[in-house]
A = this chain, B = another copy of it.
Amino acid sequence: MPRPEGCFAHEIRVTWGDCDPARIVYTGRIPWFALDAINAWWEAHVGQGWYQFEIDRNLGTPFVHMSLDFRSPITPRHRLVCHTWPEALGETSITFGVEGEQDGALCFEGRFVCVFTVADRFTKTPPPQDIREIVTPHLPRLA
């Protein structure tokens, strides 16, 4: 599914320490960047990130899947803009799309699936109503 126009963008300051001897960002760092972008999506839209979900609401959103395609190398020469949007909201799961862009070039695109859980029991649960209501208007419309 293509990235929705004007979706949330999270900017990452790429640094020297993110890079490997090939002088580009180490592959192992890239999923970390994407996760930071998803957490920032939650913070921007719900006013709470994973930390507050877990500790204040006993709500977990563990990942059950991720897949990424790496399109071009990332360096510290430009900020990395992570376009981030919810792609689907199921009974007990949510899918996010993330596209990382730098200086106008697509660097990676990824899809991430999380399930909602009762954090201290690690059992699946439907998302709280406020979260469902916040996420729904951001979902891509079917044509």
* A50 neighbours in B (Cβ, 8 Å): 15-16
Known: A51-B77, A63-B70, A67-B65. A17 touches B31 (CB 8 A): no
Copies of this chain, complex-wide, total 4
> Nearest CB to that of A119 among chain B residues?
B22
In the complex, are the beta carbons of A70 and B65 less than 8 A apart? Answer: yes
A40 at the interface (CB under 8 A from B): yes
A64 at the interface (CB under 8 A from B): yes
In the complex, are the beta carbons of B62 and A22 less than 8 A apart? Answer: yes
CB distance from A77 to the nearest CB of B (A): 7
* A88 neighbours in B (Cβ, 8 Å): none
CA distance A20 to B122 in the complex (A): 14
Chain A residues near B (Cβ < 8 Å):
13, 15-17, 19-23, 26-28, 31-32, 35-36, 39-40, 49-52, 54-55, 60, 62-70, 73, 75-77, 119, 122
